[in-house]
Chains A and B, each alone.
Chain A
């Protein structure tokens, strides 16, 4: 209760954050790489070697680092797990503000990349010839690493969405795999009626899922043009999403269990949570955290907002980017290219990652992989198809990290009170716009 003295705590904490605010201004200090860096320069840097610090939590990078160091024995990669998602971004932002301890390369999720690019924390990869790699990657991730026409990172993985469902539960109650979200709603009703303990899915308000489903519905709530930003959650896509999701909430058809909690995995394994709509990176998590569901689950295409459609969206996925304050950028680029475009990709795929490169996605060996968890189903075929059908033109806010942090303040109310989802989204829009304006953006 009284353990947190506001003055001292906030002051000390801000001391660490802001003492260094002064050093922030000289952001154009990428003097080492004036002009362009050729492939030969990068190769030379790799041969010459040096130390490289990489912040990432992606588990398969460990094997990549091992192989990379075998190939380039002079390079020493220091792979640090500085936290997952937001935790790492906080650490990264503090390091950037302090101008000290900034890694050379950092893993940054697609939704967070624009924020770091705009803050001039990342090195533009234009001078490294990254533009030429465009054809190697699928369009969704590639557009995600491009901000204002400039490439700021290389896609590491991707999360084309799929609907995972518990076939055993579906068969037991004679439920068909839903082709549209309306059918999904019917399936939810039928299931919960047949077994009051079972729910079609769980949701307690998740910014990532909400934006992804609006994305799939063709909504474009965010448009970003430099520092001009528009936020609009009243368009067609958002409306279609709220129509279905509101009924799921009002009729209490979704379990009030947060994703990634123990109860969630228990529900997945035990059959009380019947479907999960999420990215293609999910299977590894099923296997490790809900082993009890093995053999019972299957993957299917995401239900559609319009009958007969094929639309899909991305959920999650991250890139590697070179920090502006990092040292030895040629070396950093060499590592990134190895891990995300070169030999590293296959190493990661072999260890269960879902790639963003067209080569691996079209590889018959990859497509024919049989998933034990899905009863031998060749799920990658579904994921690869989903990757091709991702709706184009989506963009995240340049301050999405903050915006997502207040999602439950606003939209979350719809899950626990009589506030409607549409009103929640409206409040989210207003709060986000307010923050954007305070941060110097022109928000409409």
Chain B
């Protein structure tokens, strides 16, 4: 309990405490009540960051989960040749540290040196995955690559617990494979899908590593307020505005909790 209080409650309490103050270059530290919160709610940079990760959530997460589900079903179907190899190679990217993975993709994306430059040279195109209006999709691609395997494993484990006798009786009743998937498999792993979704929601809102590491390659496309976490980090380190950064962190925690809760409610409804 004491450990819980120290490692969990104390940082939260301290962050809330911090968010009620403001420390200025001229004027020093002062108590400002909820001023930082009203400021954040009117801060266009904060909203643009939140909007960006929301867009990311709405587009990238369904694509990634759908792909993970297809892969999990394919492996589970038992008709796949070299199933173990397939499973491991899909999961492998998750074992690569996100920092390394992003650096690797960064080298491929670079249109001055990497793979994209070679493609451009061959095809005479001027593709630039790090251009401002494309870079979010490029990040989505990295994240999908990293996390398909992880989500596939969650879904596959759930599928593996479904008793095979159910499939046998379905086949005897003349159900097609498609029917088995929609009538047995998907309802059976509904809980697992919900969990994978919640993880992905949290992950999207906390997007930090990928944009932060790609930034030196695309400093004009990835702003200092690209995602809420990047914004909090810039506020703290470049701007010395740790009080305001704490406020941003608290608001993001609340937003994430609310959305994750909504997903959970929807996922467990009428069960």
Chain A residues packing against B (C-beta within 8 Å): 1-8, 10-15, 17-18, 21-22, 24-25, 86, 90, 93, 115, 118-119, 204-205, 227, 256-258, 262-263, 398-399, 401-402, 405-406, 408-409, 412-413, 415-417, 435, 438-441
Contacts and interface: CB of A to CB of B under 8 A. Distances in A.
24 contacts: A1-B203, A5-B206, A6-B229, A6-B249, A7-B253, A10-B248, A10-B249, A11-B12, A11-B15, A11-B246, A14-B245, A15-B14, A17-B236, A18-B18, A21-B23, A90-B237, A204-B219, A263-B113, A401-B238, A402-B240, A438-B24, A439-B24, A439-B25, A440-B27
Interface stretch (B70-78, B81-89, B174-182, B220-228): B220-228
A18 to B, nearest CB: 5
Interface residues of B, number: 56
B112 A263 contact: yes
B98 interface: yes
A331 to B, nearest CB: 29
Nearest to A257: B112
B25 A25 contact: no
Nearest to A1: B203
B132 interface: yes
Given A1-B207, A18-B242, 18 more contacts: A10-B242, A10-B248, A11-B12, A11-B246, A13-B236, A14-B15, A14-B236, A15-B11, A17-B240, A18-B18, A86-B238, A204-B220, A205-B219, A262-B113, A399-B25, A405-B238, A405-B239, A440-B27
Contacts of B253: 6-7
Between B199, B207, B219, B252, the greatest number of chain A beta carbons within 10 A of the residue's beta carbon is seen for B219
Contact of B15 (A10, A86, A409): A10
Given A1-B98, A7-B253, A435-B239, A24 B202 contact: no
A439 B204 CA distance: 32
A401 B225 CA distance: 17
A25 B241 CA distance: 17
Interface of B: 11-12, 14-15, 18, 23-29, 98, 112-113, 131-132, 143, 146-147, 199, 202-204, 206-210, 216, 219-221, 223-225, 228-229, 232-234, 236-243, 245-246, 248-250, 252-253
A1 B26 contact: no
Contact of A402 (B229, B238, B242, B248): B238
A224 to B, nearest CB: 12
A398 B223 contact: no
A262 B228 CA distance: 31
A440 B25 contact: yes
Nearest to A263: B112
A11 B249 contact: yes
Contacts of A438: 24, 241
Contacts of B25: 115, 118-119, 398-399, 439-441
Contacts of A10: 15, 232-233, 236, 242, 245-246, 248-249
Nearest first, the 6 closest Cβ-Cβ pairs linking A and B are: A440-B26, A412-B220, A11-B11, A405-B238, A11-B15, A2-B203
